[in-house]
Structure 1
Amino acid sequence: MFLQTLPFLVQSRILSFLGFEHQSLDSGEERVDEEFGSIPDCLKDAASSANELFLPWLPLSHDTLNSRELFAGYESQEDFLSQVGEGSGDNSKDVAEEMEIDLVMVAPLDEEIQNMAASLKERIMTFESSSLTVELANEIRRLSFERDADPFVILGMLEPWKADDETASILVFHLSNGREEEEEIAWPSKVLCSIMLPKMLVLEEPASRVLVISMVEYCKLHQRAAECALLLPLIMKKSGINNHMCDVITRIVKESLHPAHVSAFCRKLLCGEEVEKRSIILPCHQCLLSSQLVWTESLFNLFQNILNHNVQLTQDSVDQLVLLIREVAPSFSKSLKFGNFLLCFITRCSLLLKSRKLLLVEAVAKTNTLVTKSILSKLASF
């Protein structure tokens, strides 16, 4: 027996909670009678007609509460609990927004919407002409906004990141002509994280010219979306960025963003709390991200490129980098890329590093590269 006294989306979340916390909530009929006088007749009748009830006061069976449908969108109960735990430090607005996404994700889509999405997905995989791709983008936008379904869910079903680079470059621009009343950052972010970001997360060779140009131009128009739906999640990749990813990010930083914006972004990466580093990303790609920066030679190279672009780092960003350098210097002791970053860092940020001289000397002394002596000489001049 399944009672639905609340809207489906709300009831789904409540039942998920009950499924996880049933042991602490299983008070038994005696305690209910003791504290509340008696069990309501409607629940007594329902309970007496149900078999093997999970909770004496809730007419749901073990099979119902353990079913995969109850935890739709999660591989296991542990996955659900871990995702709830990750958001425990957010403010109420962030939690509300996250819950709203989760609730929409578990809602079943209308069969007509599913059929339309399947048809559009098939067309995404086949490039015929630019004009037909533009029309395809228009249809995707209409399906995302004119139907009773979350655009994030629709884009996840369509898997537009699997399109070839030419199709992706056309889609990303023509999908952006959505409703003006849509929140400024929301739709462009969804477009970026469902088309460009997945391609970048698996990049193992130089990105195609058409893809890079389209990303650079798109990020010029949507800088906030570029930060939270492309740059941030890419840099937070669980296995760390490689040289090809570094090249793309460097190009976007130099051609699409203002230096002051880049400085603020670096501060978020280096000094921000975990909640500040939350990305806009499809659930199916969330497993590729880390909650902490993964330092690789390519990431140090990226920061060197940023400094060479005359980006002025804040004092707290510089201080955090010094502490990091001291920590990782033994691991990168023979890395020339790390050494080049150190030389660039000390040269570009010398005015902010005078009080950190001894720490830097200690860290540099643990390296042995072609530029180690040059770095120590530079530090001696402070």
Structure 2
Amino acid sequence: MECWVPLFEIFLNSPCPETQASLWLQQSFNQPGPTTISTSSFLSLLTKPTHITITDSSSPSHTKRVMWIQTLPNAVQARVLSFLHYDCRRFCESELCQLAETMLKEGEKLDFWVKRAAHQLLDVVSRSNYEWFSSLNLDSEEEQVENEFRSLPDWLKDDVDETDLMLPWLPISQKQFNLAMQFSSCGENDDPMIEFEEGKREIVEQVIEEVDEVIKEVDEFLNPQVEELVERLKDRLLSLQSTSKAVELAGEIRELCKGGSQSLAILGKIEPWRADDEITSVLVSNLLDGNEDELGWRSHILCSVILPKLLVLKEPASRVLLTATIEYCKIHQRAAEYALLLPLILRTEGINSPICNVLTRIVTESLHQGHVSAFCQKLLSNEDDLKKFICLPCHQSLIGSKLVWTDSLFNLMQNILNHNIHLTQDSIDRLVQHAWESADRFSKSLKFGNFLLCFVTKCAPMLKSQKSLLTEATQHTNTLVTKSVLSKLSTL
């Protein structure tokens, strides 16, 4: 146990425990002489059976058997699990999976952050492995396994028939998934990379076409009867004073837009974003009805009710607005990407600190990590077509097509990295390029300096080829963390 004390001091005190713990573990392996430090011994310590006494006023005290990690403070438990997720390649996957599953058996009794870290660890290590079939020479069995692998499990088929989404955290629809599967099945004489790029391009073009169809709806004129009804709804919206009236109005708006192709135009005329935040939260939760398309009605609600409020945000968002937004985005992640995140980040003036805080909460609390990684790759890409978004024409002037780099945008990227989002190599390279181009403008910005420090700390293995460019960018800064960044870059 004594040999692990320095490691647990890192978990207790370090601001970046994952990378520092990984470095400590690597250095400990390289020390000469006999040592008891190994990944298996560390997991054995964490899972060691321990008895604790439970005292409850409603029942007599009793002894409970738990793992040793469960006797640690919740904050330390969460950091240990986060480290195992960050450095999972060093450990046995089956043992990590067993540890995470045992932790999650506590259910509601488990601390929120511990439960979240255990879920993230389980997401990484609980992967199916069909490699053992390669030793069998039974073609029919292999074909059966292949077909079973490419098909949806039975418990998902009913849900897939009712909705266009495969899974709430998957940033592609069922049609796009099936298309990707077709292109991933290469023949013996096919080039897998060519097939993959063609398949990816096909998926991107399909999404662009869907977004373009949504945008075209606002160009349609409303007939006089609908115009008159819309004006009445608009007047009622601005005079609402009770929740019950807001629910009633939401139902009328939903019925007026239902089944038609003019919903976005109608919402633009009603101007629901002018309602106060309390009414907004009621509208958002009551406008939905049934299994609508993610890039249809669900995205219309976001871009007409919430997006306009956030585009002009200059003070911290109210708790009720933030809560309503986060809960909506948790359920409708694809709509959140195209009708809220993309247009908000592409704001012509760049994002400010209040908007950065809202985006951070949405990204870290509403989206799956894989979705965030894919979103960042799209955001940092040089292809403008990938940045297609949905918004009302009256707000188009507030949104551009290029990223405007502010210190708050670098702060957002830092928050994303701190959430242990794994960026692809091309995203890393473009982020280095943007940092190099921005170094002069943000030479005295502490937010930019903190981003560089976090970037070098979290992505060190992927920055070796960009070391000189990143060093040059850092040398143009003059902040409290400049020397720390240069010191870490020197060790790459």
Pick from 363, 378, 383 the counterpart of residue 268 of structure 1: 378
**Residues 1:296 and 2:410 aligned together:** no
* Pairwise CA distance, 1:366: 1.1
Alpha-carbon distance between aligned partners in 2 of 1:91 and 1:281, rounded to the nearest angstrom: 19
1:218-267 CA distances to partner (integer Å, 9 max, x unpaired)?
A: 00010011111111100000000000000011111111111111111111
Q: In the superposition, relative to structure 1, how do residues 322 and 159 fare at CA in structure 2: closer, same or farther (>3 Å)?
A: same
Q: 1:347 to 1:275 in 2, by over 3 A?
A: same
Contact 1:109 1:149 in 2 (8 A): no
Which aligned pairs between 1:296-375 and structure 2 lie closer than 5 A? Answer: 296-375=406-485
**Aligned residue runs from structure 1 range 371-382, under 5 A:** 371-382=481-492
CA change 1:192–1:275 in 2 (3 A) is same
In structure 2, the residue matched to 1:140 is: 253
Partner of 2:212: 98
| Fraction of identical pairs, as percent | 55
Aligned mate of 1:163, from 275, 281, 288: 275
SS at match of 1:157: helix
Give 1:229's aligned amino acid: A
SS of match in other structure, 2:476: coil
How far the C-alpha of 1:378 sits from its partner, in A, is 0.5
The residue correspondences of 1:72-111 to structure 2 (distance < 5 A) are: 94=208, 98=212, 101-102=215-216, 104-111=217-224
Rounded Cα–Cα distance in structure 2 between residues aligned with 1:200 and 1:375: 33
Corresponding residue for 1:256?
Answer: 366
TM-aligned CA deviation for residue 105 of structure 1: 4.0
Q: Pick one of 124, 127, 130 that aligns with 2:240.
A: 127
Question: Post-superposition shift, 1:185?
Answer: 3.0
Q: Distance in 2 between matches of 1:101 and 1:267?
A: 23
| TM-score (normalised: structure 2) | 0.57
- DSSP 3-state at the match of 2:299: helix
> CA shift at 1:165, angstroms?
0.5
Q: Say if 1:93 and 1:218 are closer, same or farther in 2 by CA, change over 3 A.
A: closer
Q: From the superposition, tell whether residues 145 and 367 of structure 1 become closer, same or farther in structure 2 (CA, over 3 Å).
A: same
CA distance in 2, matches of 1:99, 1:260: 27
- State whether residues 317 and 354 of structure 2, in contact with CA within 8 Å, keep that contact through their aligned partners in structure 1: yes
SS in 2 for 1:313: coil
The AA in structure 2 aligned to 1:117 is V
Tell me how far apart the structure 1 counterparts of residues 286 and 339 of structure 2 sit (CA, whole Å). Answer: 18
Superposed CA offset, 1:123-169 (max 9, x none)? 111222211111110100000125x6510110000000001101111
Rounded to whole Å, the distance in 2 between the matches of 1:351 and 1:97 is 37
Q: Structure 1: 5+ residue runs without aligned partners?
A: 1-89
How many aligned residue pairs are there? 289
Matched, 1:217 2:327: yes
Cα deviation digits, residues 45-79 of structure 1 (max 9, x gap): xxxxxxxxxxxxxxxxxxxxxxxxxxxxxxxxxxx
Question: Distance in 2 between the 1:91 and 1:98 partners?
Answer: 10
- 1:178-233 alpha-carbon deviations (Å, 9 max, x no partner): x43x3233111000000000000000101100000000100001001111111110
Aligned mates of 2:224, 2:457 — CA distance in 1: 61
TM-score for the superposition, normalised by structure 1:
0.72
Paired residue for 2:293, among 177, 183, 190?
Answer: 183
Q: Which amino acid aligns with 2:453?
A: L
Aligned residue for 1:117?
A: 230
Q: Which consecutive unaligned segments of at least 5 residues does structure 2 have? A: 1-203
Root-mean-square deviation (Å): 1.8
